Amino acid sequence: MAAREDGVQHPRRFYTAVTVAPAGGGHAVQLDGRTPKAPGGAPLILPTPGLAALAAGEWDAQNPYIVMVSMPAVRLAYTALEKIAAVREAVADEIARYAGSDLLCYRAESPRELAAEQTAAWDPLLDWARTDLGVSLEPTVGIIHREQSADALARVRSLALDLDDFGLAALAHAAGLLGSAVLALALQRGRITGEQAHDLARLDEAFQERLWGIDGEAAIRTQGRLAEALWLEQWFEALR
């Protein structure tokens, strides 16, 4: 039996127990003793016990139907297992492109209160990237693109490629979610929490909400982005 929702058919949960066990040099999620597989056939074997536990928790939460859209860690694990190895260079290039137009580098001309908030919140992260990561990005005022140094972008690319497939997949996801390679790297390294990353990424939006109020649909989107940032924090913590 299966449920249909928005035209998508969801299979009924077919397993009772969800466990984690050593397998294949890593840690496998097991459903009644059998390891589920990604669409391409790769078994769901993760590099750390914590990451396997995160994926297992999502499988265990499926009841009575299995809804893959509600399993972001499992879906990202499948991406890491079956896709990232073949496109590592391209993924690193994409993360470097986020650094080239990093959210933290574009400051408001007005109002002054927003500009001051951006300076107070974002400058410490740019300073951290410069001193701890060797990534020196220069902020600008306004929305006109400012070219960042080739050395800075190459350094971001190198940091991305230093990660394994699971770290690289999550870093790319975080950069896209946050609009910032710096925030993504800070989250990956535990410099900031998922909630902090989310709040820093939507500083401008939050400022406008304080002035004009909160739109209902926007609030729903905000909650969705926050949920993504929180599970990414769990992912990175489980990898460390």
CATH code of residue 163: 1.10.3580.10
CA-closest candidate to residue 139, choices 157, 121, 161:
121
Specify whether 190 is located in the same domain as 155.
yes
Residues 40 and 11 in one domain: yes
Residue span of the structural domain in which 207 resides: 85-239
d(CA 104, CA 119): 9
Of 34, 54, 82, at which residue does a domain stop? Answer: 82
- pLDDT 10s per residue in the chain (240 long)? 565 555 678 999 999 999 999 999 999 999 999 999 999 999 999 999 999 999 999 999 999 999 999 999 999 999 999 999 999 999 999 999 999 999 999 999 999 999 999 999 999 999 999 999 999 999 999 888 999 999 999 999 999 999 999 999 999 999 999 999 999 999 999 999 999 999 999 999 999 999 988 888 888 999 999 999 999 999 999 998
User: Residue 23 CB: number of other CB atoms within 10 A?
Assistant: 16
| Rounded distance between C-alpha atoms, residue 35 and residue 23, angstroms | 10
Residues 206 and 97 in one domain: yes
Tell me the C-alpha distance between 30 and 59, whole Å: 9
Domain end point (choices 40, 66, 82): 82
The four Cα atoms 65, 70, 75, 76 give a dihedral, to 10 degrees, of -160
Indicate if 137 and 33 belong to the same structural domain.
no
The enclosing domain of 53 has a CATH number of 3.30.2180.10
Q: Which of the listed residues 63, 82, 101 is the one where a domain comes to its end?
A: 82
- Provide the domain count of the chain: 2
Q: 193 with 233: CB under 8 angstroms?
A: yes
What does the buried/exposed string (b/e) look like for 159-183 if buried means 16 or more CB atoms within 10 Å of the residue's CB?
Answer: bbeebebbbbbbbbbbbebbbbbbb
> Are 94 and 106 within one domain?
yes
21 & 59 share domain: yes
What angle, rounded to 10 degrees, do the helices at 194-201 and 216-239 form? 140
137 and 38 together in one domain: no
